[in-house]
Amino acid sequence: MEKYFHSVRLEKEKCSGCTNCIKRCPTEAIRVQKGKAKILKERCIDCGECIRVCPYHAKKAVTDPLSSISDFKYKIALPAPALYAQFKMLGHEDKVDRVLSGLKAMGFDDVFEVAKGAEICSKAIAEELKKSHIKPLISSACPAVVRLIQVRFPELLDNVVKVDAPVEVAAKVAKMEFAKKNNVDISEIGAYFITPCPAKMTSIKAPLAKEKSDVDGAISILEVYGLLTGQLKAAEAKRFSGVKASAKGIGWANSGGEIYAIGEKNALAVDGIGNVARALEDIENDKLKDLDYFEGLACVGGCVGGPLVFESSFVAQSRVQKICDEVGLDETIEQDAETYMKDGVASIKKEIEPVDVMKLDDDRMEALKKIQRIEELMEKLPGMDCGSCGAPSCRALAEDIVRGHATEMDCVFMLKEKVKFLAEEMVDLASKDNKEDEEDR
């Protein structure tokens, strides 16, 4: 496995070097050099923000094709609850049934809702809150946020709740139940997440809290949207035979849904990766130390606002709420979730290690010298953070210079001053030469 697997990739031939992306990246993982963007893979958290803001569509998310399900004898679809909100026809009474049945008609042997995994996680998180002395505990559901903490706020890694993500729990339970019901070997079963975001793909290929993901692949909602739309209209795609998730699990698709599901009132939900980063700064600075739980989601509105969805996040949020109102709560689901929670299927044991991408040097004295050099450069740089140099801020440029990846002349203002100085020098030299010529005559 690669040390750094990334779903978010750059298509250089489409990049115009416009610098839109460098300003919106929460980990300053993008530079523009020689007229093209460059993604620093060790800093990238695959939040997909650059995909949203690029007007030339030069950033893309690499996910598994639908055809990859043929790698397994038995295939299980794991639909994100955000998938239900992508279709206008979901005002019908059989809305969720049609989606689940439609997925089976596309070639899957079974469908297991990620929302059911979310309900198990909700129980596990509620238990963690009862016994934890760390405040606030931070949700582990959004892989982009966990990676943001790993890169920018490593001191907060102990705050991340030791509960697996809903999709991982869903995959584990789905395989167990399918293998038992059909008397097949679990190794023959492939579980594929229908994902709204690239960060989920990254978490599958390079998991942070376990050696190997229980999910075997991630297929973009955008890829299945067209085919699934056709299946939803088919007469046979009406009822799904199986226990479906309740409002508590489906509500995780929206920002604040997790907090509602765990029943914690002294909690805060923040969406949008920039907002989450600012909130994490406040947590790091002990400004939210009285808070019990923090739910952070990289996408605006929650998972419904992912880069790989079809519908507007605002429309989707409204639809999710209506679906939750119609579906309601289910005591059977609550009891099943409680049982699985007690079995420990949602618990994670592996510690998440920090990523030292911000470290300037392994040698402490050298690192201190580089910090001093950065401060000296900051005195010379204009402090306008204009991005013309290809770095997101003057400080980022100063760091790049110290690391040997840029020069002072990459700053247009310093270059202008240098050119002005050289021009004045040339004028002085020319005047001196003319004066000498006159004296010789």
Lowest mean pLDDT among 65-74, 109-118, 181-190, 382-391: 382-391
Is residue 289 classed as helix, strand or coil in its secondary structure?
A: coil
User: Domain ranges in the chain?
Assistant: 8-61, 66-343, 364-436
Confirm whether 8-61 and 364-436 share one CATH topology.
Answer: no
Topology of the domain comprising 8-61 = Alpha-Beta Plaits (3.30.70)
* DSSP sequence for 351-370: PPPP--SS---SSHHHHHHH
- The per-residue pLDDT for 1 is 39
The rounded distance, in Å, linking the Cα atoms of 146 and 295 is 11
- The per-residue pLDDT for 76 is 97
Is residue 191 classed as helix, strand or coil in its secondary structure?
A: strand
User: CA 272, 196, 173, 242 torsion: positive or negative?
Assistant: positive
**Do 83 and 99 form a contact (C-beta atoms < 8 A)?**
yes
**Do 296 and 332 form a contact (C-beta atoms < 8 A)?**
no
pLDDT at 437 over 70: no
pLDDT tens across 9-34, in order?
999 999 999 989 998 999 999 999 88
**Do 175 and 214 form a contact (C-beta atoms < 8 A)?**
yes
pLDDT tens across 94-107, in order?
778 889 989 999 99
pLDDT at 236 over 60: no
Considering the chain, what percentage of its residues have pLDDT values greater than 70? 94
Provide the pLDDT confidence category of residue 357 given band limits of 50, 70 and 90: confident
- The per-residue pLDDT for 136 is 97
Considering the chain, what percentage of its residues have pLDDT values greater than 90? 67
Tokens 């994670």, located at residue: 348
| Mean pLDDT for all residues in the chain | 90
Lowest mean pLDDT among 246-250, 283-287, 292-296, 336-340: 336-340
pLDDT at 347 over 70: yes
pTM of this structure: 0.88
Residue bearing the bigger pLDDT, 364 or 266:
266
- The per-residue pLDDT for 85 is 93
**Do 168 and 192 form a contact (C-beta atoms < 8 A)?**
no
Q: What is the CATH number of domain 66-343?
A: 3.40.50.1780
Structure tokens at 140: 């582990």
The rounded distance, in Å, linking the Cα atoms of 90 and 99 is 9
pLDDT at 408 over 70: yes
Provide the pLDDT confidence category of residue 237 given band limits of 50, 70 and 90: low
Topology of the domain comprising 364-436 = 3-methyladenine DNA Glycosylase II; Chain A, domain 3 (1.10.15)
Structure tokens at 346: 């949602």
The rounded distance, in Å, linking the Cα atoms of 61 and 351 is 27
- The per-residue pLDDT for 434 is 65
